[in-house]
Amino acid sequence: MSALLSVRDLTVSFVTRRTSLEVVHGVSFEVRENATLALVGESGSGKTVSAMSILRLLPENAVVDPASRVDYAGENLLTVSSARMRALRGREISAVFQEPMSSLNPVLTVGEQVAEVLRLHRRLSVRNALERAAELFDEVGIPEPRARLRAYPHELSGGQQQRVMIAMAIANEPKLLIADEPTTALDVTVQRQVLELIARLRSRHRMSVLFISHDLGLVGELADDVVVMRDGVVRESGPVERIFRAPQDAYTRALLACRPPLDSRPRRLPVIDDFMRSAHLNTAPLERPAPGAPVVEAKHLRKEFRLRTGLFRAKSLVAVSDVSFDVARGRTVGLVGESGSGKTTVAMMVMRLVEASGGEARLEGTELLGLTAAQMLAFRRRIQIVFQNPYASLNPRRSIGRTLAEPMRIHGLGASEAERYERARTLLDRVGLPREAMERYPHEFSGGQRQRIAIARALAVEPEVLICDEPVSALDVSVQATVLNLLLDLQESLGLAYVFISHDLAVVKYMADEVLVMRAGEVVERGTPEAIFRAPQHEYTRNLLAAIPRGLRSGN
């Protein structure tokens, strides 16, 4: 099987008025005919830029080095005329993007948008184009295809929107489909369906797929060849079996190993540095303290939102109905569920950042939900929270030192500002950041570093309980392990009780001693991680488990 498209020495830079930054340095790879090539890398690896260069869909300030080549059907796509490029796009090479909601035009019906690409490259009448669009909808698995033609994008679910994008992309039987993280923005249960759809379409239409992802485990089931990128260069490439079974490059090995394993619970997760330095991995099993008296108890928590639908009418939305749990010192309770399950709302209620509609939350016996703001202030020392988005949880206009000193000042810790700053430096040591960070600003740090600063801020008041709301979900896989290790270290040395929230079952299984599975505001199953994993009772739990990528098709 010969190469359908080959990228050679691709070098791309972004320029602003004065500076120029090279983001892709001489990248080369080949897409074979009738095969799937996975382009894998974390954020900043240059994988999306490389793929978008093929279709010349880069932003206006991107500059491609003239020595770069993208060879397709005997032409260098980087130098062909705009007219030729437009003829190829949507017909021989097409694309599907990450966010289907914003990738579709909100004021046109989905039928019109699919028909448009058909009419653009073939001489079809409007009626015939819509007919063909309905057939495509059927092929991609959209129920009631004919009726759906007249729907607007916002009337469809995320999964259906993505199917519409796929229909648009395959409408003209392209030879190459570029899929840029097509499932990342979708719910876990829908992800698998869309992946299977793409695989099915690929073999049926005999087209090639260039699949971009940050998750190496995900592509193991789908790809024939894999290219691993980091910091704008190719680290390793080859057939998928070899990559998974005998990875040569340290980074590839790190990517494969950094995910929390599903069958064991080691003391420490391996991190990228361990592989880069070939350090010895500590695979001894994690020891957990025995369950003791609960320090946090939540009983029958309930949250109802009232939405005003008219001047005098209102609708109520139940976000959380009857959630109870408890956790002892040094132990972790995990809440797992997809977006909309209410797990974050539970955390917000316990922290009194959102007012509960019903239920109780006790901290060492004291009921929290009825306290006034002034009374709550004292308890805010004892229970803290780390948020999901490290880019939004730190005030961009404040230096790190001020951010860390503020909670201490509010709660009267430290006799003077100077002493507080000294304590802040100690905190930075504790989370593994340099002391110079004190004068810096959040934008100078990476996501993982910012999350560590957020953890340091939470620890500044010496709490007893830490709520972790998806603390690693926004981080790259290689960085997740670092933060998880840090959290475990801190729990061991400080005896903190954790409430750990995530949509990622593998991460929750690793971190938690007891797991609650949530769906649409209710707890559908609870138990130890092993019990949930080996013998899931509820159908939803089984779906969640099935959606976890297992690596290579034949099992890792």
Range 471-490, binding another protein (CB under 8 A):
none
The alpha carbon torsion through 463, 465, 469, 472 (nearest 10 deg) reads 70
Asked if residue 182 binds another protein (CB under 8 A), the reply is no
- Closest approach, Cβ 154 to another protein, in A, equals 5
Distance of CA 16 to the CA centre of its chain: 29
Asked if residue 68 binds another protein (CB under 8 A), the reply is no
> Residues 1, 60, 277, 284: which binds another protein (CB under 8 A)?
60
Compare residues 217 and 342 and give the one whose CB is closer to another protein. 342
Compare residues 250 and 441 and give the one whose CB is closer to another protein. 441
Which positions from 190 to 229 touch another protein by CB under 8 A, shown as an x/- string? Answer: ----------------------------------------
> Residues 161, 393, 451, 480: which binds another protein (CB under 8 A)?
393
> Residues 99, 231, 489, 492: which binds another protein (CB under 8 A)?
99
Residue 240 in 3-state DSSP?
A: helix
The alpha carbon torsion through 373, 374, 375, 378 (nearest 10 deg) reads 110
Asked if residue 94 binds another protein (CB under 8 A), the reply is yes
Asked if residue 341 binds another protein (CB under 8 A), the reply is no
Residue 351's identity, in one-letter code, is M
Interactions with another protein, residue window 425-454 (CB under 8 A): 440-441, 443-444, 454
> Residues 3, 32, 33, 57: which binds another protein (CB under 8 A)?
57
Q: Which stretch binds another protein (CB under 8 A): 51-59, 132-140, 324-332, 484-492?
A: 51-59
Asked if residue 63 binds another protein (CB under 8 A), the reply is no
Asked if residue 394 binds another protein (CB under 8 A), the reply is yes
Please enumerate in sequence order all residues whose Cβ is within 8 A of that of 62, keeping only pairs 6 or more positions apart, or say none.
12, 13, 14, 15, 49
Compare residues 305 and 441 and give the one whose CB is closer to another protein. 441
Asked if residue 351 binds another protein (CB under 8 A), the reply is yes
Residue closest to 424 by CA, chosen among 393, 397, 398: 398
Cα angle vertex 501, ends 347, 461, to 5°?
A: 60
Interactions with another protein, residue window 111-150 (CB under 8 A): 116-117, 120-121
Residue closest to 15 by CA, chosen among 68, 79, 60, 46: 60
Say which DSSP state 261 is in: P
How far is Cα 138 from Cα 117, in angstroms, rounded to an integer? Answer: 17
Asked if residue 384 binds another protein (CB under 8 A), the reply is yes
Q: How many residues bind another protein (CB under 8 A)?
A: 74
Asked if residue 52 binds another protein (CB under 8 A), the reply is yes
Interactions with another protein, residue window 402-421 (CB under 8 A): 406-407, 410-411
Distances from the Cα of 80 to the Cα of 24, 112, 175, 496, angstroms: 21, 29, 18, 61
Q: Are 493 and 290 in contact (CB under 8 A)?
A: no
Say which DSSP state 296 is in: E
Interactions with another protein, residue window 287-326 (CB under 8 A): 309-310
Distances from the Cα of 192 to the Cα of 211, 441, 470, 490, angstroms: 14, 40, 22, 35
